[in-house]
Amino acid sequence: MEPIDNKSPIGFIGLGVMGASMASRLLEAGYTLRVHTRTASKAANLLERGAMWAPDPAAVAAQSRAVITMLGFPEDVEAVYFGPGGVLESAAPGCLLIDMTTTRPALSRRIHQEAKGRNLPALDAPVSGGDIGAREGKLSIMVGGDAEAFAAAKGLFDILGTRCVLQGGAGSGQRVKLCNQIAGFGSTLGACEALSFAMRAGLDPAKVLESIGAGAASSWALANLAPRIIRGDFEPGFFVRHFLKDIKLALEEGEAMGAFTPGMALAKELYASLERLGMGDKGTQALYLLLEGAGAK
């Protein structure tokens, strides 16, 4: 399979917080980009810079050498790939399908199997790194699928991220992403809880962060989310509602495998509370607000 270089037309479906920045990086790298998203206004910046609008997923897939999807929920992925006028029925044989949404491993395997029967190579390639990683091309990309398809997509992945690992067969990328979310919750909770403690102790949170961010407690959450909390910035690098979706996927997958994941049970309780409070569209660092509210009672 030939590598997907910037002479190849690329389709991109889903231009949310992450997807818009990822598509932008491909456009900057010289790729011909055809885009579609449910809210057309989100494509305006890309269209002004030379991307082409497609009215639906079918129009994206029919005219692309590779199609990247970055969607919100498993039902969105299912609709875009399997629905009427979806990617699977519209893509020309040989088109490389890359789903970068965090979704059910079983759904990724189903896409791979259906795509294989249509001579469409497919990869699941969820990412970690948030909005900053997407803008700066510093995502970690966790890939499931065939080695040949991975090799063809590697040039695309190198534009989007600094670490890209083929984890195994279809669905493996999704399972690794769930590992990432399990570990990520622990560090996010730790960062939020530490800052809440520091504030109540009358400490300077910036100085606290300067010390603990350089020690054994250092983490991505302390480096990236804690400064936002200190500034009072709770806007999304990653939505609460999307993280809650990932938590539920991890619990679902863990239960099926017999894995004990008490951290995810706590995460579900805390982030479901945030969503009930109307903060589903805030960033995951809004967990700090929940802790502060609980501490004030």
- Domains along the sequence of the chain with CATH: 10-169 (3.40.50.720), 176-295 (1.10.1040.10)
∠ CA 154-179-12, nearest 5°, is 40
pLDDT number for residue 108: 98
Q: Are 194 and 216 in contact (CB under 8 A)?
A: no
> What tokens appear for 88 in the block?
């699977």
Residue 39 and residue 101: Cα distance in Å, rounded?
Answer: 17
Angle in degrees, 0-180, between the axes of helices 17-28 and 147-160, rounded to the nearest 10: 90
**Cross-strand partners of 47:** none
Query: pLDDT tens-digit profile of 167-178?
Result: 999 999 999 999
Distance CA 64, CA 269 (A): 42
CA distance linking residue 235 with residue 279, whole number of Å: 10
Amino acid at 237: G
First to last CA, the chain: 61
- Confidence (pLDDT) at 296: 58
Look at residue 96 and give its three-state secondary structure.
strand
Residue closest to 224 by CA, chosen among 129, 137, 135:
129
In this predicted structure, what is the pLDDT of residue 295?
58
* pLDDT value of position 297: 54
d(CA 283, CA 264) in angstroms, rounded, equals: 18
Count CB atoms within 10 A of the CB of residue 72: 18
Write out pLDDT tens, residues 57-66: 999 999 999 9
pLDDT-flagged residues of the chain (< 50): none
200 by Cβ neighbours in 10 Å (0-12 / 13-18 / 19+) ranks as exposed
What is the rounded distance in angstroms from the CA atom of residue 286 to the CA atom of residue 195?
12
CB distance 79 to 56 below 8 Å: no
* Helices and strands per DSSP (H, E), number in the chain: 15, 9
Positions marked active-site: 177
- Report residue 139 as tokens: 């995502």
Q: What span, in angstroms and rounded, lies between the C-alpha atoms of 175 and 144? A: 9
Instruction: Assess contact for 71 and 86: CB atoms under 8 A.
Output: no
Contact criterion met (CB below 8 Å) for 4 and 65? yes
Triad 178, 101, 112: Cα angle to 5°: 90
Residues 180 and 50 sit within 8 Å (Cβ to Cβ): no
pLDDT at residue number 167: 98
